[in-house]
Structure formats: structure tokens, C-alpha cells
Structure 1
């Protein structure tokens, strides 16, 4: 009889209806391991137990899937049978409402069709000028020798870009309100991400009070801008495009649905791009040769001009560098689904309601798919290796029909911002100590990412030394 390893090294003889996995504590299951270090826990589970791992979060069983062949039907082939898990999203419906991030079924399909044109074609290209202009404004305020917290800078920049591309303009007062409010919302959402039970918003916990106060601020700004857009009926921004969209029956989005989509994009959209840029520049700061190569490309492509949409296709090394940054530090480090009905995965019976987890962090560092998986090597993306990788071995934006609707927006934004920065400045880490990632709902740095900025001596750029 075959031996199947299960629990903390315990051999279980014979056939089993449950995949192998780590033993947990009574009642808590593997929750403490998950809370202590989810990245290390998921990585160790994949290394020890293989492609399908049995977990228990509290009394509820769950599965971790590490085989692209088993991930494909969950995200694509039979995606309707594997909806997003309801437990976590019930805790944040006050924020996201019924926006694209959490809506399901035919309503989600309708919203996706309505929103898609705003993130494609000429409309997508039109956002490039805003991205570059706001980046150059930020860089004009940098001075040689000063220390910058890259995470703080990237969060502020991508929020400004999101607000202007969404609304066309936002007042300084609105931006100040939203910046602080979105930070409070992210903090509370992160707390709820690891909470094993539901606590109603009405319970007056300090985090809940901050959460509701922040939500009032964001909703107030968004709803006022929607009213103004309805009145003036013009604009070339994303919100106007969403307002003008019509479904097959000629119906537009309601104001409530517009609010849900705008808040979703503000919260989910700007943070993930900011994190992708933060981690990419963190890596470049520790790899001077890679940094110099990206800067040389940016200087050669852009010359003495600022970047445009037409330059994105020529900034190939910048694109590969962002891809490698997102491989090592995927902003969305885990993807959740659940079995909508009893099913079978790799020969194991799975009951309806079982949560299923796919971790880009684990997949992107799997030596089956990547040589030297822990190494920062942008050159690995030369000659389009994505076509040779197993599907879903690389999924920084998710995959299948529910791939992030703004993934092209995010890649264009990241490439243009990165090229604009490295062309003008070199970033030197203020400390040699590595920065640990904090795995919450996104993968953020644990602490600040402080770098000293040094102007590039490029005679083509604003007098060279800035």
C-alpha cells in the first residue's frame, strides 16, 4: 500500500479521500500558522505536500492548489462552478458594494461588458499623458541626496493618477480627504482579511469607527462628483465613459453602481500598481547593473522628451523589469475561489463550499517553472517566455474571465512611471537590510522603503544634474 504523508510528518497508510496536508490544532486548524507567516506557510505546504494540499482554517476545510493544470478549470474552464468565496467579501460590502471585484454571475458579466471599453483601445492610450505628467511633477520635487520613502511616493502618485483619469480633476481638499480615508479603509480591510469570524460593522470597535468615517469621506467625494458629471454631461475621463456605457437593452449604470465601480477602482486599482512599482524599484536599488540597463534604455528611447503612449512598446526592458518585480512580489499574492457544488480535483472529492486558494507567490517561485526562482533576473522575460510557461504559472493579475479588468492600464502605468523615474534618478537603498513583505489582502512592504535619490548625469535631461 502506498504511503501518503499527512499532518506534521505523520505517515497515513492506504487511500484517503482528503489530500495530504499539515496537521492543525483543535478548533483552530492551521489558522495560527496562516496568521504567523502566510507566505512561508503556503510555500512550505506546497514544497512538502505537493500540488493539492488539505488545510483547515478553523473547523472549515480548504485546499491550496499548486498545479497549473488543476488551476485552469477553476479560473477558466469551469469558472462558473468556482465563484469567489463569500465569507470575506461579506465583511467589506459596505466599501465595494456590488462592484466588479466582488459581484458574481450574470450581473458581473453585464458590468464587465459595460466597463471594458473604458480600459482598452484609444481610451486606454488617452490616459498615458496624465500618467507621465503627474510623474514628472512628482520628480520635479525630488532633490539629489534626499531620502524618499518609495512606497509612500508611489501610493500618492498612483492615487493622483487614478483620481484624474477617473474624474478628470479632483480638488486638493478632496485628495487630502481621500488619501487619509483610503489608508484607513485599507487598514481595516487588512484586519478583516485574517479574521476567522464575522463582526458586524455596527459593533463600535475603534477600527470599525475609523472604517465608517473613512467610507463617509470617500462616498461623499465620489457621489458629489457623479452628481456634477450628470449635470454637466461632459468629460474625457473614465467616469464619463462608464456613465455613457449602455447594456444590450440600452440601460446605463445606476448612480449606486457607478459609485461601487469607482470606489473599487480607487481602492484596488491604485494600490496594486503602487506596490508593483515599489517592489520593482526596491529590487533595482539592490541590483545596480539592472538599474543602469533600464535607465540606459529609457534614455535611448525617450531622449530629451517625456514618455508617451507610443513609447510603451519600445520600453521592453522596463516592461520585463516590472514583470520580474511582480513575479517575485505579486501585489495580489493569493486568489480565492470556492467549490460551488460537490466536485473532484485531482482524484480527491471536494465538498460544496470548500474554499480553494491559488497563490501567485508560491507559483512564481516554483523551480519547476523558473530557473533560479529566488533571483531577480528581468532577462528571463526576453523572447516572450510566457508562451512557453504552463498557463497560470504566472498570474500577477489573476487569470481567466475574472482577470483584472485594468491590467493593461496598470502595465502601461507601471512602465511609463518606471522609465520616467530611472531616466532622471538613481535610487540607492538607505539600508542593506532586506525588507520583508507583509501578506495581507495585498503584498505590501513591512516598513518604509527608504532610498536616497541621485540625479543621473544625462546632458539631454533638464541640464543633466537637475
Structure 2
């Protein structure tokens, strides 16, 4: 499919505005634009985006060619470079030999043998957060589940990264992280971004937040240089890492960029994945019942351990299916350095190609009833026939997310512990609208009421029929 090309044809696609092309639709509702594009035009779709051309790839074979087979021909796009003032040369944005060196240095920090200790840290932090969740349930008042999950995951991220609590409401870092994410989202949505040097309010807020983050991160790094020890956190491992060929470690600037990437790219994705999961469980009471039954059967009332994850199979399938329908990293973009053949079409050098897990995960050729929530589609007997790149919530190839194992561990642990203890009901009439920014998140948050479960209690009728009438996950 990726070798024979008809160079006389160009891929089909919507024409859009005579000047702006499909930029207005891309800005207003990208999920619908790209879903309809695949449905109407096929697996390779051409979109004029102002002066640029963008090509959407929706077949796993083409995705594999871009991310694996011909990966050296593709690099990150200018759109991603809008994140550089914050993320610098971290793993998300760096390229070439520098990226390979940084990846090699960072990889040991994410090895599987470290996950058992991290799992213990995660469960301790979740347990420490339970009094706050209990108070929310006791009040019986609506609250934003997204905000609470963000707070919890940020506390876990801070402790795993550098043994520091980032979640307190008075924390300068927590406020700065929120500001940075908001401003980066604005930049990603901007059709014609204004120069960052202009003293606009958003630019000034972003610069101020970056200064706060730099002061805190560099302060922690400097403290480690001066002898402050924190055994086992990721920053310690990154500081101790040495290149096998040169013996060199990371500079303070490189450490800063990697830490900033992990804080900003890591915590929001996991928190959003958990939020979507609880929404889907709210909409599907039978799945919620099965999950709580499994967790209760495996754990009883004790704290989960790393070894328990292999027995929480349905819990893992629920989280995988949630990331199929609502992948936090909803879009992967690259630019072609040379001509290439994709889907039978010749795409010229300089072409922007986008691969959307949100769309690929709904491709009817690879997913039966693709809009339905069905965790059992991830049973081993049902996954064997699907192409590897039909499911890619963490990307793929050599640039697959370095923290994917940590994200799955964190998500499954938090899901098991919170679902066993609480049930969440979406506030009636609360709008649930996916918003595709840097990550895929609920545009208006998730306003819920929480109830504390009694020991052994299973999901009851309080959830039946509550929430949006539609059971599918499309916007």
C-alpha cells in the first residue's frame, strides 16, 4: 500500500475557504473535521491550511511507515516548535543525534525494575489524598473531577520526579504549571501566532510562569549539586546518568528541559485519561460493576501492590479502552524531509502529515462497533488480528513516549483505588465536550457528585441512566 504510487493524482479532501483553506474548521472543531475527512475521503486526506498543505494518514500501514520504516525522513513540525520556549530541547522536541543521546541517558530511569518502587509511592500518595476525597463526598456538592485528578496526579508527578509536592493550592509551581498549559493551548490553537517578543498579556503571563518554573527547577538541581540527596527519584537518576561513549552527563539546562517536559507532558495526559475513564464508567454501569468486583476480589480492602496489576486484567482493559476512545495525545504530526509514497500517493518534500489516534482508534476496518465502549475488545484473543498501529495512545517507533509504562502504572493504580472507594455521578445537564488542545480534555471539566462506597458495595442504580443520553464517545 505504501510502495506503488499514482503520481498523476493528488489525495482527495475538502477544499475549504479560498484563502484560509480548512484552518477555520481546524481551529473550531478539529475532531469533527478529521473524523469526517476519513469517512468521506479515505485513509489519505489532503487539507489546505492557509499557505500550507496537510495530509491526514489513517491506515496503520502508513503510520508505521512514518514512525518506523522511514522514520529518518520525518521530524517534528513547526506547530510543535511553538512549545519550545517552555520545553526547550527536551525529548518531546529535540531531534537527531542530540535526541538519541538524551533518550539513551534517560531510558534507565524508566526501566521496568524501577516500577515496583514507584508503585509503592503512587499508592502512598493516593492514600494520603483520600481524606480530601472523603470530604468532597461527605459534602455531597458538585465539584470538578478533572481539577481534583489534576491535583492528585501533579502530586504524584512531583514526588516521582524530584521528591517534591507540587499539588498544594499555595504552590507557586502548581499555579505556574496551570498558566503554562493554558498559554500553550492558546498557541497551538492560533492560526497566525504573533511573535513571542510582543508584550501581549498572554505572552507576559507565559514568560512570568516560565521564570517561576525555572527558578524552582534550577533551585532543586542546584540543591542536588550542593549535596541535597533524594534517593530513587527520576531527577537523581538523570543527574547520575553518563553517556557510555563519552562519559558525559546532562548539563543543568538539559536536566531542566527534560524535567519540564516530564512535568508538563506527563501529568496532564494521565489526569485527562483518568477523567475520561470515570466518565465512561459513569455512562456504562455494567462495566463499573465488573471493575469494582474485580478490584474487590483481588484486593479486598488492602492497598494494591505492583504484583497485583497482573491480576487486575479487566481494570487494565478499561483503561486501554478509555485511551482508545479518548487518547490524551490525540494527534501526532511530522514534516517530510524528502518525497515519500503513502497510501498510493506521492507526498512531496515539506508535506505536513498528521496521524490522529482519535480517528485511527475509530477506524471501522480495525474496530468492530468503533464508537462503543467495550473493554473486552482488548482480550488477548481479540487483539491478535489487529495491526500494531491501530492503537497508539503513546505514539510508536523509536520516539514512542518514554513514560508510557509509568503512565499505565499510575493510571491503573489510581483507577483501582478510587473506583473501589467512590462512585461519581455526572451533574445532570453538564455538557461533555471533548476539547482537542495540547491534550484531549473535557472543555468544561466534569462536574460530578461523589459518594463513598461502603466496604463490599458494588455500583448501584444511582448511576443507571444518569448522564448524557448518548453512549458513544464522538463529539
Distance in 1 separating the partners of 2:170 and 2:107 = 26
1:23 aligned residue (6, 9, 15): 15
Under a length normalisation based on structure 1, what TM-score does the superposition of the two structures give?
0.92
Contact 2:296 2:456 in 1 (8 A): no
Pair 1:45 & 2:40 matched: no
Unaligned runs of 5+ in 1: 1-13, 462-466
Q: SS at the partner of 1:447?
A: coil
Residue 105 of structure 2 is matched in structure 1 by 114
Specify whether residues 391 and 171 from structure 1 end up closer, same or farther in structure 2 by C-alpha distance, changes over 3 A only: closer
Q: CA deviation at 1:137?
A: 2.0
Q: SS at the partner of 2:315?
A: helix
Q: SS at the partner of 1:444?
A: strand
Distance in 1 separating the partners of 2:431 and 2:41 = 29
Contact 1:303 1:460 in 2 (8 A): no
Distance in 1 separating the partners of 2:163 and 2:382 = 38
Pair 1:402 & 2:399 matched: yes
Under a length normalisation based on structure 2, what TM-score does the superposition of the two structures give?
0.90
Residue 168 of structure 1 is matched in structure 2 by 163
Contact 1:160 1:175 in 2 (8 A): no
Distance in 2 separating the partners of 1:387 and 1:266 = 34
Q: CA deviation at 1:426?
A: 1.4
Summarize deviations over 1:75-130 as a string: whole Å, max 9, x none: 11111111111x12332211000000000111111111111111112222211112
Residue 128 of structure 1 is matched in structure 2 by 119
Specify whether residues 59 and 262 from structure 1 end up closer, same or farther in structure 2 by C-alpha distance, changes over 3 A only: same
Q: Alpha carbon RMSD of aligned pairs, Å?
A: 1.9
Q: CA deviation at 1:250?
A: 0.8
Summarize deviations over 1:29-79 as a string: whole Å, max 9, x none: 110111121000000000010011111111111100011111111011111
Contact 1:174 1:221 in 2 (8 A): no
1:269 aligned residue (261, 266, 280): 266
1:158 aligned residue (153, 158, 161): 153
Residue 297 of structure 1 is matched in structure 2 by 294
Distance in 1 separating the partners of 2:372 and 2:304 = 29
Specify whether residues 194 and 456 from structure 1 end up closer, same or farther in structure 2 by C-alpha distance, changes over 3 A only: same
Distance in 1 separating the partners of 2:300 and 2:317 = 20
1:56-95 matches, cutoff 5 A: 56-85=48-77, 87-95=78-86
Q: SS at the partner of 1:413?
A: helix
Contact 1:118 1:124 in 2 (8 A): no
Q: CA deviation at 1:173?
A: 6.9
Unaligned runs of 5+ in 2: 1-5, 459-475
Residue 250 of structure 2 is matched in structure 1 by 253
Residue 102 of structure 1 is matched in structure 2 by 93
Q: Which deviates more, 366-375 or 452-461?
A: 452-461
Residue 311 of structure 2 is matched in structure 1 by 314
Specify whether residues 311 and 175 from structure 1 end up closer, same or farther in structure 2 by C-alpha distance, changes over 3 A only: farther
Contact 2:321 2:373 in 1 (8 A): yes
Distance in 1 separating the partners of 2:168 and 2:124 = 20
Contact 1:304 1:460 in 2 (8 A): no
- What is the number of residues matched between the two proteins? 447
Summarize deviations over 1:299-335 as a string: whole Å, max 9, x none: 1111221111111111111110001111111101111
Contact 2:27 2:191 in 1 (8 A): no
Summarize deviations over 1:162-212 as a string: whole Å, max 9, x none: 101111124777972111111111111111112233422210111101101
Q: Which deviates more, 134-143 or 26-35?
A: 134-143
